[in-house]
Chains A and B, each alone.
With several copies, the nearest count.
Chain A
Amino acid sequence: MSILVDDDTRVVVQGITGGEGNFHAEQMIEYGTNVVAGAVPGKGGQTSAGVPVYDTVQKAAIEEDADASVIFVPPAFAGDAIFEALDAPLDLAVAITEGVPTQDMAKVNKRLSEVDTRLIGPNCPGIITPGEAKLGILPGNIFSEGKVGLVSRSGTLTYQVVDSLTQRGIGQSTAVGIGGDPIIGTSFVDALAAFEDDPDTEAVVMCGEIGGEDEEQAAAYIAENMETPVAGFIAGRTAPPGKRMGHAGAIVSGSGTGTAQSKIDALNDAGVPVGDTPEEVADNVESFL
């Protein structure tokens, strides 16, 4: 009834003693997430958000049998924090941090090809399996249990769509924010493949945006591999070329690649209806069920 995380997931919070890390650790625990430890160098032996803190992720993983982490550390140290999660090793690392330098992520990406850990993000709201666990900063109260999977490069846009679905009584299996950076750990294709394999996900919403070719690759994947119906949305139709629209990855190149139109066309060609408004996306999902 979910992908990647559920109520068995044992979570370390990297950066749990920081303001944001501490706040969201508490929120995650309140939501019911199985947060078992924090990891902060030099803070080992303390308690934060009610869980023990260790100096290293590996120590936390060994002592508390953790298999996932959520990373709330400042951008300058986030690349290193991800490397530490991969080294521990954990099965899943979710990097919330916005503003990680792209070249740090290129190195992380190389390392990802050598290990079995799945990375979600960075610059993402995290992942939630409603009623079971949330790893990240998503507002748990707008989600409801159900059978629609969501994957999105944007946080608040996801909330917008989820809110529409929940208000129509349509629950979600898992929602994953893959992040708005140019180089991210989990792509649309990765998430779509997981939803396709999940017998309890009956429809998927995919919210893309301008920049890169991830949506086009997802369209190709959907056309070739997916039985589960997908409803699409693409943000940034009005974005001018060469300007970074908030997300580091949301940029139409000077040569005109990465446009919303290219992505919409690709999705349409793959049989994916692309809504003009978030409400239309919810309409399309409703029509699948």
Chain B
Amino acid sequence: MKLHEYQAKEVFAEAGIPVPESRLASSVEEVVEAVGEIGYPAAIKAQVHVGGRGKAGGIEIVTSEDEAREAAESILGMDLKGYTVDRVLVEAGVDFVDELYVGVTMDRSAGEPVAMVSTEGGVDIEEVAAETPEAIAREHVDPAFGMHPFESRKVVYEAGVDREFAGDVASILRTLFDLYEESDASEIEVNPVMITADDEVVAADAVMNIDEDALFRQPDLADMAEASYEDDLERKAGEYGFDYVRLSGNVGIIGNGAGLVMTTLDLVDYYGGEPANFLDIGGGAKAERVANALDMVFSDENVDSVVFNIFGGITRGDEVAKGINEALEQFDEIPKPVTVRLAGTRAEEGMEILNTDLVTVEKTLESAVQRAVADAEEVNQ
């Protein structure tokens, strides 16, 4: 769950990490008011979950009210890689002499967190990682102990941070690591940490992703996450408790179990269609969840046909079938053609129950996907 820059900076500031003065604004007038308070130069930064905002025109530096107004008009409401910008962060410009990268993430292979520092800050760090990996110093941290002070110093010195600022940077890294643990983050990144002309060390950007599985014990962050949904369907999926990802195709997909749903997507693609979404209804789904899932997929205007693929373990085919019947019987006309494939626990009972006036029943995964792809093509002819 990604926090917005402005949210992450609130968290940083509370933990004592220096951040530039800033205001959140959602209208041109608010932007003008904010720069009036903060002064010039100021940065106007789109608050959307999109990487490379700067290059895409989502960040502008302004040095006058006219420029601020102009930037606000251009950024607010703009479409940034599919997301509409409705808020910007207005932030004091920093006169910097150097930029660093500092981050903490989970190294899955090692099963432990890793801290990273690089003097190649302010640029795409993934490019640095790919092209000059030696420019990023790394230090694994034993999660039982947390980060020892010496570890923060070691990685900062190893990265080649100027000795004059090494202590401050190490201290920021340690605070970031503590935040990483306390807030159940999956990733924290500051790119860049700026060394200012006044020899201060400031977090000029802030990326913070929270482990969704830990939101139950992070109520404040869960509230922030709530405010950061950017897609109505994804918000709805969150309310229904589904694992859902929206894609750009037209074949709607519902299934149980992440691997099987991914496989269904892949097969749609394999048979020449385009998946519209990933939707996992999870284990043991009953009628209501089935109806909710159909509602989700029908709500997506891009969807032209639906494939419903269940392999029952805990989930019972007869219950799923009943749920599908009930959900579809409420429509005068079925909004999009639905193909159902049931296997596993009580699959045969389920297939007998299914109302074939409402859905097409297929016996294999492959044939069900092929049918849904064909249906979608038909709609588009």
Contact between A235 and B262, CB atoms less than 8 A apart: yes
B97 sits at the interface (CB 8 A): no
Interface set, chain A 207-223, CB cutoff 8 A to B? 207, 209-214, 217
Point out the residues of chain A lying under 8 angstroms from B112, CB to CB: 106, 109-110
B380 sits at the interface (CB 8 A): no
Contact code string B152-171 (vs A, CB < 8 Å = 1, else 0): 01100110000100110000
Point out the residues of chain A lying under 8 angstroms from B184, CB to CB: 101-103
Contact between B108 and A41, CB atoms less than 8 A apart: no
Contact between B366 and A279, CB atoms less than 8 A apart: yes
Point out the residues of chain B lying under 8 angstroms from A235, CB to CB: 259-260, 262-263, 266
Contact between B126 and A254, CB atoms less than 8 A apart: yes
Contact between B313 and A238, CB atoms less than 8 A apart: no
Contact between B150 and A156, CB atoms less than 8 A apart: no
Contact between A139 and B259, CB atoms less than 8 A apart: no
A55–B216 CA distance with the chains assembled, in angstroms: 26
Classify chain B's interface size. Answer: 35 or more
A105–B113 CA distance with the chains assembled, in angstroms: 11
Q: Which segment, of A30-38, A77-85, A195-203, faces chain B? A: A77-85
Q: Which segment, of A2-10, A244-252, A265-273, faces chain B? A: A244-252
Contact between A255 and B126, CB atoms less than 8 A apart: yes
The 8 closest A-B pairs by CB, nearest first: A154-B259, A246-B258, A156-B257, A157-B259, A255-B126, A101-B214, A109-B111, A84-B150
Given the known interface contacts A80-B150, A160-B311, A212-B109, the answer about A248 and B212 at a Cβ–Cβ threshold of 8 Å is yes
Contact between A245 and B258, CB atoms less than 8 A apart: yes
A196–B144 CA distance with the chains assembled, in angstroms: 33
Contact code string A71-98 (vs B, CB < 8 Å = 1, else 0): 0000111001101100100000000000
B6 sits at the interface (CB 8 A): no
Classify chain A's interface size. Answer: 35 or more
Given the known interface contacts A83-B150, A163-B311, the answer about A278 and B258 at a Cβ–Cβ threshold of 8 Å is no
4 new A-B contacts at CB < 8 Å, known A159-B260, A163-B311? A56-B154, A102-B213, A254-B51, A278-B365
Closest to B157 in A: A55
A155–B151 CA distance with the chains assembled, in angstroms: 32
Contact partner of B111 (CB less than 8 A), chosen from A77, A106, A250, A256, is A106
Interface set, chain B 63-113, CB cutoff 8 A to A? 106, 108-109, 111-113
Closest to B124 in A: A255
Q: Which segment, of B27-35, B275-283, B291-299, B349-357, faces chain A? A: B275-283
Contact between A159 and B154, CB atoms less than 8 A apart: no
A159–B314 CA distance with the chains assembled, in angstroms: 12
Contact code string B289-312 (vs A, CB < 8 Å = 1, else 0): 000000000000000000000011
Contact between A240 and B247, CB atoms less than 8 A apart: yes
Contact between B143 and A238, CB atoms less than 8 A apart: no
Contact partner of A250 (CB less than 8 A), chosen from B151, B258, B268, is B258
Contact between B245 and A106, CB atoms less than 8 A apart: no
A168–B241 CA distance with the chains assembled, in angstroms: 37
B10 sits at the interface (CB 8 A): no
Contact between A276 and B213, CB atoms less than 8 A apart: no
Point out the residues of chain A lying under 8 angstroms from B126, CB to CB: 254-256
Interface set, chain A 95-147, CB cutoff 8 A to B? 99-103, 105-107, 109-111, 125, 137-139, 141-142
Point out the residues of chain A lying under 8 angstroms from B313, CB to CB: 125, 137-139, 155-156, 159
Q: Least Cβ distance of B293 to chain A in Å? A: 13
Contact partner of B150 (CB less than 8 A), chosen from A87, A256, A277, is A87
B261 sits at the interface (CB 8 A): yes
Chain B residues engaging chain A, CB cutoff 8 angstroms: 51, 106, 108-109, 111-113, 126, 129-130, 142-145, 148-151, 153-154, 157-158, 163, 166-167, 181, 184, 186, 211-214, 216-217, 243, 245, 247, 255-263, 265-270, 275, 278, 280, 283, 311-314, 343-345, 364-366
Point out the residues of chain B lying under 8 angstroms from A83, CB to CB: 148, 150
A158–B259 CA distance with the chains assembled, in angstroms: 9
Point out the residues of chain A lying under 8 angstroms from B259, CB to CB: 152-158, 180, 207, 209, 235, 246-247, 250
Contact between B144 and A107, CB atoms less than 8 A apart: yes
Given the known interface contacts A236-B262, A246-B258, A255-B130, the answer about A110 and B269 at a Cβ–Cβ threshold of 8 Å is no
A260–B263 CA distance with the chains assembled, in angstroms: 11
Contact between B157 and A44, CB atoms less than 8 A apart: yes
Point out the residues of chain A lying under 8 angstroms from B260, CB to CB: 154-157, 159-160, 235
A183 sits at the interface (CB 8 A): yes
Contact between A238 and B269, CB atoms less than 8 A apart: yes
A142–B330 CA distance with the chains assembled, in angstroms: 34
Q: Least Cβ distance of A54 to chain B in Å? A: 9
Point out the residues of chain B lying under 8 angstroms from A84, CB to CB: 148, 150, 154
A226 sits at the interface (CB 8 A): no
Contact between A101 and B213, CB atoms less than 8 A apart: yes
Q: Least Cβ distance of B215 to chain A in Å? A: 9
A58 sits at the interface (CB 8 A): yes
Contact partner of B270 (CB less than 8 A), chosen from A154, A182, A276, is A276
Point out the residues of chain A lying under 8 angstroms from B158, CB to CB: 56
A256–B280 CA distance with the chains assembled, in angstroms: 23
A239 sits at the interface (CB 8 A): yes
Closest to B181 in A: A103
Given the known interface contacts A156-B260, A213-B109, A247-B258, the answer about A75 and B270 at a Cβ–Cβ threshold of 8 Å is no
Point out the residues of chain A lying under 8 angstroms from B265, CB to CB: 236-239
Point out the residues of chain A lying under 8 angstroms from B314, CB to CB: 137
27 pairs, CB–CB < 8 Å, chain A vs chain B: A41-B153, A41-B167, A57-B150, A75-B213, A101-B184, A101-B211, A109-B111, A110-B112, A137-B314, A142-B344, A154-B258, A154-B262, A155-B260, A159-B313, A159-B343, A160-B260, A160-B365, A163-B311, A163-B344, A183-B108, A235-B263, A236-B265, A243-B245, A245-B262, A246-B243, A250-B258, A277-B267
